[in-house]
Structure formats: structure tokens, C-alpha cells
Structure 1
Amino acid sequence: MQTIRKREGFEGQRAIVLPKKILEVCGYTPPVNALYITDIGFYPRAAYHYRERPNGISQNILIYCTEGKGWLEVPTGTYNVSPNEFLIIPADMPHKYGADEKSPWTIHWVHFKGLQAPYFGALLSRQFKEFVSYSPFLDDRIRIFDSIFKALESGYSLDNLTYSNISFAYLLASFSFPEKFASAHHTLEKDAVDTSIEYMQHHLDVSLTLEQMASAINLSVSHYSSIFRKKTGYSPVVYFNHLKIQHACQYLQFTTLRINEISVKVGIEDPYYFSRMFTKIMGISPQEYRNKKG
């Protein structure tokens, strides 16, 4: 059970909670099962942000504060958190944390699991002796975080999961070994599938046919479907539905919109069909998701 003092979101916030079925895939698929993200987000100036979990949770938690202040309470004591400090909470450890009332923190946060998660937790906390540590601000670290978020935001293909979670290990290394952290990153030219996914993301509020998706990048339906499935492991329609449900999760988590209103916002006119699709993909109903994350 967790207690949250503020239900509303924070202006500019972003968050992704991976579906249960995707996490099951992560749990048994090498190399992802070594270390994988379950939740990830960014909360700017998160006034009244507060979490209390008397029994902890099954994931490890990393929170990186870039501005403002916050605090952490674990069984070993209470710690203040300042800019350019990160906190690590091992799985199953009881904890509380929150934003400073006068200067609320801006945070990048990740929940993670995996076979190697305990090792990374021990590394980041110096064998569970330091739960809050300083690490100098590095632009490249934020760029890696953003690239991980963007990859997961683009869907849950095995390529995206593998890339984001291998990158996540690199992100964790930037906190443990900041002096050794490399900063070489290159922007790659988008291919047809990347362009199609970007097109989908810009049209989440409407219903697109397979023909419309293929036409948008000037390919035949058969060729488009073939290259899309080859790269992502999913058909374009299934992938598009995953993006819609991911977007719906944001509305459920950060707004008070009714479920039928959210359904319309993600281009699904029939709220009952939306609820069935949501439940199939996320493993729980929209209302259960809102209650769980609210």
C-alpha cells in the first residue's frame, strides 16, 4: 500500500508505466532480463510530491534531483536531497520521500528490476550505506534519459526494450562513475519505420487504417507491413494501439478526465472497445489502473 498526498500531476510531467505483459517478456528475455525499467518519468517543480510505502515495493527506485530540494526517509534515517544528488531505494525497503515545501524538487526517476538489479542497487548505494549521493550535473546524462524515454514512448518492440535497458545500465554507470562517463552520442538518420512511428505519434487522437499508414510514407501496404513487423516485431495496427494505450495511461495518471473522454482523445469512439483494448494490453482495466496509480 502507498500513500500519496497529491493526486494531481505536475505541469510538464512525463511518465511511462510498462504493461504487465511487456514486463513478463522483459523478465525472461536476455539480455533485457538482466536489468529492465518498469516505470520511468520526469516531474518538474513537483510541489507536494510525496510517496509513502511502509512495505516498500518489488522494484528498485532511482530518483535524480536536478533543481529544488526533497527528502528521503528509510529505516537507517532521514536524508535531505539537494540539486545534483540522487537517491537509491532497494526493492522491498520501507520508505517515504517527498518534495521540499518551499523549493520543490525537479526529478528524473526510474523504477527497475532484473537479475542484476540488486548488484546495481548495491553499487549505487555503496553497499547500502549511502542512500543519497552527489553526482555532478552532466548534459549527456539527461540526453541518455531522454533517449530511453523516447524509445519506450515509441513502443515496446524488442529492439526498443533492448536499446532502452542497455542504455539504462549506461545511465546508472554515469552516477557510479561520473569521471569515466563517456559523452559520444550521434543522431542517426530516420528510416521508413521510424518515420511511420513518428506519424502515428502525431495522430494518436484519430483512427488510422493500415492503408493510411502505408500511404503516409509512400509504400505499398504489403511492403510497409513487412518492414514494420521485421523491425518492431509487431504489425503497424497493433503497434499503433500500444501507443494509444500508452497515451491513455498518461491521461489516467495525470488528469481527472472520464474514461469515455480519454477514449475519444486517443481516437477510439467506443469506450467499451477502448476498455477492452486497455485491459488486454495493460492487464488491468482503465479504472483499476487509475486507482492503482492515483
Structure 2
Amino acid sequence: MNGNIKKKEGFQGQKAIVIPKTVINNRCARNAVMGNMYITNIGYYPKAQYHYRERLHGADQHILIYCHEGSGSIQLDKTEHPLQAGDFFLIPGKTRHAYGADEHNPWTIYWVHFKGIAANEIIEMCKKNNRWKGFAGAGGKSLELFQEIYSQLERGYGTDTLLYANMCFWHFLGTVLFHEKATNPHDVSNKNAVDKAIDLFSSNIDKVLTLEEIAAAANLSPAHFSTIFKKKTGFSPIEYFNHLKIQKACQYLQFTNLLVKEIAQALGIQDQYYFSRLFTRVMGISPNDYREKRNQ
């Protein structure tokens, strides 16, 4: 920071909306839909030279800062985190922090303050995984959603407007936290070992794949791959593959006249009784009962 020049606000082209507390308390926090997560403040600071903010006791809300251009840094508790273009950072509520733009390459940031029961759970999830910082890419869908949210809130605080803006915020947050899911699904360069394995499952739904074959496609040992896959998805690789097979089986049962034995074979499962047991375990109902209920 250059000398004593520090600015909380006052950047050419800046935008900011602070939703009135009466609206927050009466329209958002008490609403059955919005009460889970809602925006309290939202804004945009372009080329924010000398931007600096320090909160010794933190903010009442959680804060998301997305660095679109330039660079800066965020200090959470006593740890310094540099931010470059494409990075995002989550600051938990009521946590001491400070942040500021780089002196020579000041950042352009989009920021949102938000609260709610689900918001707290999301912060806890990030805390558990030590995921305060991540890469959200060049913007794309995220920035489109941000602009949509902002333009709606500029129109006032009608119930429909607030509902729409805050429901869009869920999508916006998802595109930021799970950037790899929001990118082009055909862009191989963005895919990790888990995504590549899921692609392998989808293109081989009619086959039986062993764990060794799946891990080899990801260039990892079976044990290491299984650990990574389960941590990422919550399921073992084979269990996940079976879920996709049963998903396809449901479509066959609903949209075709194929016999259960024929469906099993189409999914690479030669034993129709094993297939029926697997289907029942996953769906909680037998294949024939599933077809009957869907056709009622």
C-alpha cells in the first residue's frame, strides 16, 4: 500500500447495493425459501487502486470476493492469501480479516455479503476442506449471473424480485465454488481424474469395468484412485458406476418395452437376477414394480 492512501470506496465505475435491514429482516430472513441463504450487500469495484478494508471483529455476514482482473491479497486471521485474476475467496462472518488491492496491479472485484442457515453450512463445508480460496476462471456464466442478480436488485425489493435474485445467487455460488462443473463438459483440459472416470462410465455403460481398468485410465493406482474418487463423490467408483447403470435402466423401463433380462444385458450384466437385486437395492423397488408404477 502506497503511504497512507487507503480507500474503502470511491472507485470510478463502482457499483454497490446495500439491502435495507427492514427488508432483510421482514422479507428475506423470515421467508421459508430465502431464509436459507440471502444477499445483504452486493457490489463491483473496477481497478480499485488503494482499495483496503480491515474488520477487526469481522462482518456480520459471510463475504465472497471474486477477483476478475489485477491482484490483491486477503488476510484471514493471521494468514495472508494472495489473489490473482480468476481467484475467489470466502471470508466467514465474525472472523477478523483485512484485504486490499495490489499497489501496482489493482484488482477488479465482484463481491457479495450473504447470510442464512444454508450459508453457514456452506462456510462450514469450506472450513472443513480448508477451501476458503479457489479458482473460478475468467467469469463467463458466473459474471452473467452476477449481473442478472445486480440488475434485478436495482429494480427494488418486491418479493418476486428478492426470490429471483436470491435463487440466482445459489446458482452463482455454485458456478464459483464448483468451477470445473460449470465449464464446457467437452473441454478435456479442465477435467480431473474423477470427471474423466465418470466420462469413462458414461461411454461404457453397456460394459463391465474393473477398478483396475478405471484407475489405469486415470493413471493412478487402484487404492489411490478409490480414495480420491470417494472423497470427491461420496461413493466408491464401482458403486457410482452402478448408479449410472441403474439410471439408464430406469429409462429403459419407462421408455421401452425391453424385458428385464434384455435391459440387464444392455447394461453388460448377464445375470438378470443379480441385476434385479442391484436395481432393488439402489431404487428401493424391483424393476417390474418400477415399470408398473411409472406406467400408471
Q: Same fold (TM over 0.5)?
A: yes
Closer/same/farther in 2, CA of residues 140 and 8 from structure 1, 3 Å limit: closer
Q: Tell me by how many angstroms 1:178 deviates.
A: 1.7
Give 2:50's aligned amino acid. Answer: Y
Partner residue, 2:253: none
How do residues 88-167 of structure 1 correspond to structure 2 at under 5 angstroms? 88-123=90-125, 125=126, 127=128, 129-167=130-168
The 5 Å alignment of 1:167-182 reads 167-181=168-182
- Residues in 2 aligned to 1:142 and 1:126: alpha-carbon distance in whole angstroms: 25
Point out which structure has higher relative CO (alpha carbons under 8 A, 6+ apart): 1
* Structure 1 contact 64–109 (Cα < 8 Å) conserved: yes
Identify the residue that residue 16 of structure 1 maps to in structure 2: 17
- 1:120 touches 1:172 (CA, 8 Å); kept in 2? no
TM-score (norm 2): 0.58
Identity, % of aligned positions: 40
Question: 4-13 or 98-107: which moved more?
Answer: 4-13
AA aligned opposite 1:17: V
Aligned length: 179
Give the Cα–Cα distance (whole angstroms) in 2 for the partners of residues 54 and 96 of structure 1. Answer: 8
**How far apart, in 2, do the equivalents of 1:160 and 1:109 lie?**
20
1:5 Cα shift? 2.6
Query: Which of 22, 26, 29 is residue 27 of structure 1 equivalent to?
Result: 29
Tell me the alpha carbon deviations over residues 182-236 of structure 1, each in whole angstroms, 9 at most, x when there is no partner.
79xxxxxxxxxxxxxxxxxxxxxxxxxxxxxxxxxxxxxxxxxxxxxxxxxxxxx
How far apart, in 1, do the equivalents of 2:132 and 2:178 lie?
Answer: 16
Residue 94 of structure 1: CA displacement? 0.4
Can you give the 5+ residue segments of structure 2 that lack an aligned partner in the other structure?
A: 185-296
Matched, 1:55 2:57: yes
Equivalent-residue separation in structure 2 for 1:44 and 1:34 (angstroms): 30
Q: Which of structures 1 and 2 has the bigger CA Rg?
A: 2
Residues 118, 103 of structure 1: alpha-carbon distance in 2 compared, 3 angstrom cutoff:
same
Give per-residue Cα distances to partners, 1:55-110, cap 9 Å, x unaligned: 10110000000100010111251110000000100011100001000000000000
**Cα drift, residue 6 of structure 1:** 1.6
Q: Are 2:135 and 2:179, in contact at CA under 8 Å, matched by a contact in 1? A: no
The 4+ residue runs of structure 1 with deviation greater than 4 A are none
Q: CA deviation at 1:126?
A: 5.2
User: For residues 77 and 17 of structure 2, what CA distance do their matches in structure 1 show?
Assistant: 29
RMSD after superposition? 1.7
1:13 to partner: Cα distance? 0.5
State the AA in 2 paired with 1:140.
Answer: K
Partner residue, 1:68: 70
Q: Distance in 1 between matches of 2:40 and 2:85?
A: 25
Any conservation in 2 of the 1:148–1:167 contact (CA below 8 Å)? yes
Q: Give the match for residue 204 of structure 1.
A: none
Q: CA deviation at 1:179?
A: 2.6
Question: SS at the partner of 1:9?
Answer: coil
Which residue in the other structure is 1:79 paired with?
81
Amino acid at match of 1:163: Y
Segments of structure 1 that go 5 or more residues without pairing to the other structure are: 184-294
Q: Which amino acid aligns with 2:130?
A: K
